[in-house]
């Protein structure tokens, strides 16, 4: 068991599993006193952002194709971290930040934290879609898997310039074996990587369901890129 734990800590997928496990434990249910629905899942901000940073590391394995998405994730993480730093107690969770912006009427502004949370969620949607395709068929064409995942999750919200740039960058995608190998720890088989990915997927699906519910509650879930 100890060796398995050490192995997971050496990989981005294993670290992501650990971060999501922490986040699942840390989540609480709050009952609001205003016009919002009750029983909203309260998502601690720091564990959520730590997981998003691990997504960047996974996307780095794909290479230059993910450069624009990677930069977008990093900027949105920084925006939310800046809000947290302004009052770590008050803004320790995502719901409080989004509630504040909703009351101020700033949720839809280009540099809002609500938009940052929206685009981080879409990046996680993309990651989930890609991992689901990989775990279903570890030998499938990576370029096709990435393009299909992008078309499903992010393209509907991107402008034509971003979509065109992504299309060009697809030519730089590594082949399937290369990508799986860089995700794996030393001496880790493709089957073991597949099992890790399956574990990550099982944790990511409920998190995304909760995030989409929060985004819908504050009516920012359908905003497009500015």
* DSSP secondary structure letters along 184-211: SPTT--HHHHHHHHHHHHHHHHHHHHHH
Note the pTM of the prediction, 2 decimals: 0.88
Q: Give me the mean pLDDT over the 187-193 stretch.
A: 88
Confidence band, pLDDT 50/70/90 cuts, at residue 197? very high
More confident residue, 164 or 113: 113
pLDDT tens by residue, 198-217: 999 999 999 999 999 999 99
pLDDT tens by residue, 13-56: 989 998 888 887 766 544 444 444 445 677 899 999 999 999 99
Q: For residue 106, how many other CB atoms are within 10 A of its CB? A: 14
Least Cα distance to 117 among 149, 148, 76 occurs for: 76
Query: Is the torsion defined by CA of 155, 160, 165, 168 positive or negative?
Result: positive
Confidence band, pLDDT 50/70/90 cuts, at residue 68? confident
Q: What is the pLDDT of residue 28?
A: 55
pLDDT tens by residue, 125-141: 999 999 999 999 988 89
- Would you tell me which CATH number, out of the four given (3.30.450.20, 3.60.15.10, 1.10.3520.10, 3.40.225.10), belongs to the domain 41-218? 1.10.3520.10
């Amino acid at each position: 068991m100890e060796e398995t734990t050490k192995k997971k800590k050496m990989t981005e997928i294993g670290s992501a599993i650990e971060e999501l496990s922490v986040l699942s434990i840390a989540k609480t249910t709050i009952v609001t006193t205003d016009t919002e629905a009750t029983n909203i899942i309260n998502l601690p901000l720091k564990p959520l952002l730590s997981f998003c940073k691990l997504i960047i590391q996974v996307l780095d394995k794909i290479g230059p194709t993910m450069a624009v998405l990677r930069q977008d994730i990093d900027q949105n993480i920084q925006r939310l971290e800046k809000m947290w730093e302004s009052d770590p107690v008050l803004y320790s969770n995502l719901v409080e930040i989004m509630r504040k912006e909703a009351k101020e009427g700033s949720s839809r502004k280009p540099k809002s934290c609500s938009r940052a949370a929206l685009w981080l969620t879409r990046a996680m949607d993309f990651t989930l879609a890609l991992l689901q395709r990989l775990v279903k068929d570890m030998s499938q064409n990576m370029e096709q898997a990435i393009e299909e995942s992008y078309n499903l999750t992010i393209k509907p919200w991107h402008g034509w310039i971003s979509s065109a740039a992504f299309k060009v960058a697809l030519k730089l995608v590594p082949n399937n074996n290369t990508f799986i190998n860089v995700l794996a720890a030393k001496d880790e088989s493709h089957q073991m990587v597949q099992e890790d990915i399956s574990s990550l997927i099982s944790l990511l699906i409920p998190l995304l369901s909760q995030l989409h519910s929060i985004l819908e509650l504050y009516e920012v879930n359908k905003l497009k890129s500015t």
